[in-house]
């Protein structure tokens, strides 16, 4: 009896997807649970597996097509209903050497892993996967490219000479580009990038956004980190960064100014008594904002561990919808890319976002004397519809006070 392959329900906020790549072809014999097709959504990438064993009879939606939840992607027909050709296909499949089926298993990988494999010229079939069910992740490819993580049973990698030759072609070809050549390349946006673009425009058109600025002396935090960094890492297995200080400081400021931890629903303000702090993470496929649930209950070490794990999974493409849903306030750090000052855009329906920036040694006046201190500009973008300017300014002042006196974070 035939079975439809449908776009699964991933979450209430995801209603459509894009067919990234079919992993099997029409006429192939598949077993129940075999991955058939990769889908790309605005938040996560996922595989759709075979609902039953049989023959992939028909592919209805091709690579690159946009689809909606519940739509039919293709049809699987069980062996008994596949008709006369089915036995021949099954026999043909069984007659193939076992090695023919191994690359499929070996190359189960995330989209970012495949992209990295192209960049580093790594054969995915020779990379040992560390993800679920042996799935190859980006980190596996990068490790293999540096000389590690190769499968023991795999033959040796191509000789370095060949790799050197392949990489030397590009600059030579570029140097011979005809004078006056003004070629262009048209690249379709990924589903995630298109959604990011749409949401940013929506945020600007639906909220009364305004940004206020301040600067923070990072001397106390830097000194505290220097004193405790080794013991902290030995005890918790993760470095003590600045993010945890700003998460803690933000919660303290949100408690003092609860309307910045709210959202607008119709003509009502929903004031939230919990603190789910989103932390913006940059990945090759675009910015994502995984959420620290009940961040007020997390220790410094737990915050740092969560953020580190979010960054890894964002690059691997393994963040779940649950990691990304919700959030009452967001922190974004452009300083990791060198930004000195910026105006962050709200992440609707939130009404506040804190922007961190690069730490820079600057001269400041202290008690009438000029001194050089590590300084950071901070920015708060807020929805002026429910947050007054005075609240926003005082919110940033509270952030400044807590970070400049990190001991106060323990008492707040």
Same domain, 262 and 401: yes
User: What is d(CA 239, CA 233) in angstroms, rounded to the nearest whole number?
Assistant: 5
- pLDDT tens across 153-167, in order? 434 444 444 444 444
- Least Cα distance to 395 among 289, 256, 299, 277 occurs for 256
User: What is d(CA 323, CA 306) in angstroms, rounded to the nearest whole number?
Assistant: 11
The pLDDT value given to residue 175: 54
Residue at 191 is within a domain? no
In the block, residue with structure tokens 């890319």: 337
Q: How many distinct structural domains can be found in the chain?
A: 3
The pLDDT value given to residue 315: 81
Q: What is the mean pLDDT of residues 275-300?
A: 90
**131 pLDDT tier (thresholds 50, 70, 90):** low
Same domain, 120 and 40: no
**231 pLDDT tier (thresholds 50, 70, 90):** very high
Same domain, 85 and 129: no
Lowest mean pLDDT among 2-16, 304-318, 323-337, 347-361: 2-16
Q: Which residues are paired to 407 by β-bridges?
A: none
Residue at 369 is within a domain? yes
Residue at 308 is within a domain? yes
Same domain, 125 and 54: no
Q: What is the mean pLDDT of residues 28-34?
A: 88
Whether residue 110 is predicted with pLDDT greater than 90 in this model: the reply is no
Indicate if 388 belongs to the active site: yes
Same domain, 290 and 324: yes
Whether residue 108 is predicted with pLDDT greater than 80 in this model: the reply is no
The pLDDT value given to residue 220: 96
Same domain, 122 and 261: no
Q: Which residues are paired to 17 by β-bridges?
A: 67
Q: Are 262 and 348 in contact (CB under 8 A)?
A: no
Catalytic residue among 316, 384, 405, 412: 384
Residue at 185 is within a domain? no
Considering the chain, what percentage of its residues have pLDDT values greater than 90? Answer: 43
Same domain, 373 and 296: yes
Indicate if 228 belongs to the active site: no
Distances, alpha carbon 274 to alpha carbons 3, 37, 326, 327, 397, in Å? 44, 39, 12, 10, 22
Same domain, 134 and 34: no
In the block, residue with structure tokens 């004397």: 369
CATH number of the domain encompassing residue 131: 4.10.320.10
User: What is d(CA 344, CA 122) in angstroms, rounded to the nearest whole number?
Assistant: 37
Q: What is the mean pLDDT of residues 376-402?
A: 97
User: Hey, what long-range contacts does 384-388 have (CB within 8 A, 24 or more apart)?
Assistant: 384/208, 384/209, 384/210, 385/207, 385/208, 385/264, 385/351, 386/259, 386/262, 386/264, 386/269, 386/351, 387/257, 387/259, 387/260, 387/351, 387/352
* Cβ density class 340-360: b for 16+ within 10 Å, e for less: eebebbbbebbbbbbbbbbbe
Domain limit, last residue, from 158, 177, 201: 158
Residue 396, φ and ψ in degrees, nearest 5: -65, -35
* CB atoms inside a 10 Å sphere around CB 328: 24
CATH number of the domain encompassing residue 293: 3.30.559.10
* Cβ density class 244-270: b for 16+ within 10 Å, e for less: bbbbbbbbbbbeebebbbbbbeeeeee
Domain extent at residue 87: 1-95
Whether residue 325 is predicted with pLDDT greater than 60 in this model: the reply is yes
Same domain, 122 and 14: no
Residue at 323 is within a domain? yes
Whether residue 299 is predicted with pLDDT greater than 80 in this model: the reply is yes
Whether residue 217 is predicted with pLDDT greater than 90 in this model: the reply is yes
Lowest mean pLDDT among 77-81, 218-222, 262-266, 274-278: 77-81
Q: Are 45 and 320 in contact (CB under 8 A)?
A: no
The pLDDT value given to residue 34: 87
Catalytic residue among 66, 294, 388, 405: 388
Q: Are 327 and 247 in contact (CB under 8 A)?
A: no
Domain limit, last residue, from 61, 95, 129: 95
Query: Residues 393, 252, 43, 207: is their CA dihedral positive or negative?
Result: negative
Q: What is the mean pLDDT of residues 94-99?
A: 42
Residue at 168 is within a domain? no
Residue at 164 is within a domain? no
**93 pLDDT tier (thresholds 50, 70, 90):** very low
Whether residue 83 is predicted with pLDDT greater than 70 in this model: the reply is no
pTM (two decimals):
0.66
Same domain, 9 and 65: yes
User: What is d(CA 253, CA 251) in angstroms, rounded to the nearest whole number?
Assistant: 5
183, burial (CB in 10 Å: exposed 0-12, middle 13-18, buried 19+): exposed
Same domain, 262 and 330: yes
- Read off the tokens for 107: 């190359």
Residue at 54 is within a domain? yes
Whether residue 51 is predicted with pLDDT greater than 80 in this model: the reply is yes
Same domain, 131 and 56: no
In the block, residue with structure tokens 């030579």: 172
C-alpha 268, offset from chain centre? 32
Domain limit, last residue, from 95, 126, 142: 95
The pLDDT value given to residue 119: 78
Over the chain, what is the mean pLDDT?
82
- pLDDT tens across 188-208, in order? 887 777 877 888 888 888 899
DSSP state of 252: H
Lowest mean pLDDT among 22-26, 44-48, 215-219, 227-231: 44-48
């Amino acid at each position: 009896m035939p079975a439809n392959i449908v776009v699964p329900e991933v979450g209430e906020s995801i209603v459509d997807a894009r067919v990234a790549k079919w992993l099997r072809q029409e006429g192939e014999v598949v077993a129940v649970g075999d991955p058939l097709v990769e889908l790309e959504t605005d938040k996560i990438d996922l595989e759709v597996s075979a609902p039953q064993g049989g023959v992939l009879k028909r592919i209805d939606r091709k690579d690159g097509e946009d689809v909606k939840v519940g739509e039919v992607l293709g049809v699987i027909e069980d062996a008994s209903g596949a008709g006369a050709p089915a036995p021949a296909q099954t026999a043909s499949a069984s007659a193939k050497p076992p090695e023919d089926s191994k690359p499929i298993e070996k190359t189960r990988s995330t989209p970012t892993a495949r992209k990295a494999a192209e960049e580093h010229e790594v054969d995915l079939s020779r990379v040992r996967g560390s993800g679920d069910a042996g799935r190859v992740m980006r980190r596996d490819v990068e490790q293999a490219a540096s000389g590690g993580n190769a499968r023991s049973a795999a033959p040796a990698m191509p000789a370095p000479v060949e790799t050197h030759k392949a990489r030397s072609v590009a600059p030579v070809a570029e140097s011979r580009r005809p004078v006056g050549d003004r070629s262009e390349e048209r690249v379709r946006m990924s589903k995630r990038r298109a959604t990011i673009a749409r949401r940013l425009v929506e945020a600007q058109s639906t909220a009364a956004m305004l940004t206020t600025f301040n600067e923070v002396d990072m001397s106390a935090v830097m000194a505290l980190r220097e004193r405790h960094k080794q013991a902290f890492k030995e005890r918790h297995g993760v470095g003590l960064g600045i993010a945890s200080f700003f998460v803690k400081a933000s919660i303290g400021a949100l408690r003092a100014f609860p309307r910045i931890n709210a959202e607008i629903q119709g003509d009502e303000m929903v004031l939230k008594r919990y603190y789910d702090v989103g932390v913006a993470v940059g990945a090759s496929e675009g910015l994502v904002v995984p959420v620290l649930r009940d961040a007020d209950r997390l220790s410094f070490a737990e915050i740092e561990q969560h953020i580190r794990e979010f960054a890894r999974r964002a690059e691997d493409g393994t963040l779940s919808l649950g990691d990304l849903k919700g959030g009452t306030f967001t922190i974004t750090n452009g300083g990791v890319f060198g930004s000195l000052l910026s105006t962050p855009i709200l992440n609707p329906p939130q009404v506040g976002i804190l922007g961190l920036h690069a730490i820079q040694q600057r001269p400041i006046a202290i008690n009438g004397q000029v001194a050089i201190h590590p300084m950071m500009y901070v920015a708060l973008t807020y929805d002026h519809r429910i947050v007054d300017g005075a609240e926003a300014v005082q919110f940033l002042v509270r952030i400044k006070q807590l970070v400049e006196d990190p001991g106060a974070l323990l008492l707040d």
